[in-house]
Amino acid sequence: MSVTNFDDANIAIFRLQSAGAAYNLTIPFEADCIEWWNNTKYATNANNLSGIWFPDMTDPIGGALIVARGTTDLTSTLETSNGITELPDGSGFAATNVTPTAINLTTSVVTVAANTFTEGQFVRGLNFRATPVASATGCYGLNNRVFQIGAVTSTTFELLEPYTTVKADLTAETAFVNNGVAKFNLIGQSLGTVNPAPVYRYTLGTAIMGADNDIIFIRAMKANQVTNLGDVA
C-alpha cells in the first residue's frame, strides 16, 4: 500500500450563527469531504445534530448523511435535497478553470463545453485521479503537469510542451473518463504569472442550517488522495 500527497491536504473550519435558511459557504479549495455540527441542538431531542458529505455520495446534489437525535437514540438519514450542494464549476473564476469533456491522446486536443483559453497561455492539469473509483478520471500523468495552449476553437484547445510548438505526448496515458472531476487551471501568459487563488462555493441546505440563531460548526477537508484499502476481511 502506498500513501502519498498528504503534504497537500487542506482543512478549513468555520463557525456561524444560522439565519434558519440555506447558506452559501465559500472555501479556498475543492472539498473532498464536509462535516458539520449543530452545537445548539446537541442537548435537544428531535433535531438534526451533525452530518457528513462526500462528492461521490449516492445523491450528491443536495445530499448529506445526517445524524439526528430522537427521544432515546440517534438515527441517520440520507438527505437528498436540503443537504450540501457543490455549486457549478467556475464559481471561483470561470475564465481560469475549465473541465474537459474529452481528451484525444493521439492529437493532444482537449474538448470542453466552452473554451475560455487563448493560444500561448499556460495551464496546469488538476484532479486527474484514480481514487475514489467512482471519480477515477484516467490520464493520471496530467495531474500537476504544465502545458502551453496551442490551436484553439470555441470548444477545443491543443496541449503543447511549454515554450515550444511540439504537441504534448499523451500516448502513454490511460484513456480519459469524463466525470466532471478533472480540470485545467490557467497559470497565465507566462510561467512566472501568479493568478489569485480560485474559490469554491457550497450551499448548506436547511437540513443543515437548523433554526435561526443556531450555532453551526463546519469542517471542510481536501485530502487530494483517497487510499483504497480494499476488502480487509
> pLDDT digits over 177-216, tens only?
998 889 998 886 666 655 556 678 888 888 889 899 999 9
The whole-number pLDDT of residue 1 equals 34
Question: Which pLDDT score, from 0 to 100, does residue 53 have?
Answer: 85
Strands (E), the chain: 10-19, 23-27, 33-38, 47-53, 63-69, 74-86, 97-98, 100-104, 109-112, 122-126, 146-152, 156-160, 183-188, 200-204, 212-222
Give the CATH number, domain containing residue 128: 2.40.30.180
3-state secondary structure of 151: strand
pLDDT of residue 222: 84
Cβ burial of 60 (10 Å; 0-12, 13-18, 19+) is middle
> 52 and 67 in one domain?
yes
Q: 127 and 177 share a domain?
A: yes
Please state the domain count of the chain: 2
The pLDDT, as a whole number, for residue 106 is 96
Q: Which domain holds residue 159?
A: 94-188
For residues 53 and 127, give the distance between their C-alpha atoms in angstroms, rounded to a whole number.
Answer: 19
Q: Which amino acid is at 203?
A: T
Given a cut of 50, is residue 82 above it in pLDDT?
yes
pLDDT (0 to 100) of residue 85: 80
Q: Has residue 91 got a pLDDT over 70? A: no
Within 13 Å of residue 214, how many CA atoms lie on the same side as its CB?
A: 28
Residues 183 and 106 in one domain: yes
pLDDT of 60 above 60: no
Give the distance from CA 53 to its chain's centroid.
12
Average confidence score pLDDT of the chain: 81
How does pLDDT run across 148-170, given as a tens digit for each residue?
999 999 999 999 999 999 999 99
Looking up cell 466525470, which residue turns up? 179
81 confidence band (pLDDT: 50, 70, 90)? confident
Q: How far apart are CA 176 and CA 164, in angstroms?
A: 24
35 falls within a domain: yes
- Residue 31: the pLDDT is 84
Q: What is the pTM of this model?
A: 0.55
pLDDT at position 109, please?
97
pLDDT for 57: 59
- Tell me what the mean pLDDT of segment 115-121 comes to: 88
Q: Give tens-digit pLDDT for 63-80.
A: 567 777 766 677 777 777
The answer on 140 and 72 residing in a single domain is no
Asked whether the beta carbons of 61 and 85 are under 8 A apart, the reply is yes
> Which residues are CB-neighbours of 19 under 8 A, at least 6 positions away?
209, 212
Is 5 contained in some domain?
A: no
Q: Specify whether 26 is located in the same domain as 77.
A: yes
